[in-house]
Structure 1
Amino acid sequence: MPAVKSNRPVNLTMGQVLAVNLRSPVAIASILHRLSGVIVFLLIPILLWILDKSLSSADGFTYVKEHIFGHIAVRLLVWAFVAGLIYHFVAGVRHLLADAGYYEELHSGRVAAIVSLVLSAIGIVAAFIWIVVL
């Protein structure tokens, strides 16, 4: 009986999936785009509560400014939200350009993914300096 090549799908372990995907900047950009969307989605209620508290009265604003933003953990939380928003925006623009027919080929798609990663990294570092350090 001859051996027949099977075209059936193969279940890969998580290690095999990561080994394949971590070599491609396009895959990394796609995974981070999804992750940043989840981070932004999960942090919106917390930041809306802080905004509501700060806009409720002058005392509420003072409380948020002195007590809530006085903690480094809250500033890191806000930075995580802003970092997710920056990356999600930049990657979203890249996806919109791809939907419009630009940067769809293999090489140009890789270049666009690398450019979006670099631009996002610059914005995220700037946001860290602005929110956490200053």
Structure 2
Amino acid sequence: MCIIYIIIIENLNGKIVKKKRPVNLDLTTIKFPITAISSILHRLSGIIIFFTIGFFFWLLNISLASPEGFSQAELIMKNISLKILLWFILTILLYHSISGIRFMMIDFGYIPETLKVGIRSSKIVFIITILLSIVVGVLLW
């Protein structure tokens, strides 16, 4: 589904120019580059971390309150579905941290802002995240 809009723009010379631009409203037909996927996932992971940090603080509060509370937190974490959720959240946290380091290195000029380097660094972030996610999964079980 492509709609063409007529945009009236005044150019630098003061003349009014009509431009016909196609507008694609079906986002499923767009193939995002890996750098865009990395950026979008970094933002989504930040949102997920923001909403799940309360669970970790609650669990920490229970475990530090008393020896019985520690036993209760330990019992909670023995549930297989919560272990999977914890692994998922820790994977998201790892991705967000590694991707954040990548973005800071780009911002500080340690990594050049070229397409080739951006694609390579995005792939490296995904590979490191997968490897560390496997390590976290092994440590949890």
TM-score bracket, shorter-length normalisation: 0.7 to 0.9
In the other structure, the counterpart of 2:91 is 83
In the other structure, the counterpart of 1:20 is 31
The question of whether the paired residues in 2 share the 8 Å contact of 1:91 and 1:116 is answered with yes
Counterpart mapping for 1:5-84 below 5 A:
6=19, 8=21, 10-16=23-29, 19-21=30-32, 24-66=33-75, 68-84=76-92
Q: CA offsets per residue over residues 22-77 of structure 1, 9 Å max, x none?
A: xx2111211211121122111101111111011100000011112x0121111112
In the other structure, the counterpart of 2:102 is 94
Query: Please, which runs of 5 or more residues in structure 1 have no aligned partner?
Result: none
The question of whether the paired residues in 2 share the 8 Å contact of 1:103 and 1:112 is answered with no
Change (3 A) 1:64 1:122: same
Instruction: Tell me by how many angstroms 1:8 deviates.
Output: 4.8
Change (3 A) 1:5 1:80: same
Give the alignment's TM-score, normalised by structure 1. 0.83
Instruction: Tell me by how many angstroms 1:5 deviates.
Output: 7.0
Structure holding more strand per residue: 2
Of structures 1 and 2, the larger Rg is shown by 2
Q: Write the distance in 1 (CA, Å) between the matches of 2:18 and 2:126.
A: 39
Q: Number of aligned pairs?
A: 124
Structure holding more helix per residue: 1
Give the alignment's TM-score, normalised by structure 2. 0.80
Q: Write the distance in 1 (CA, Å) between the matches of 2:51 and 2:24.
A: 31
Q: Write the distance in 2 (CA, Å) between the matches of 1:90 and 1:62.
A: 33
Q: How many percent identity over aligned positions?
A: 33
The question of whether the paired residues in 2 share the 8 Å contact of 1:54 and 1:64 is answered with yes
Q: Write the distance in 2 (CA, Å) between the matches of 1:10 and 1:88.
A: 32
Give the alignment's Cα RMSD to 1 decimal.
1.8
Instruction: Tell me by how many angstroms 1:12 deviates.
Output: 2.3
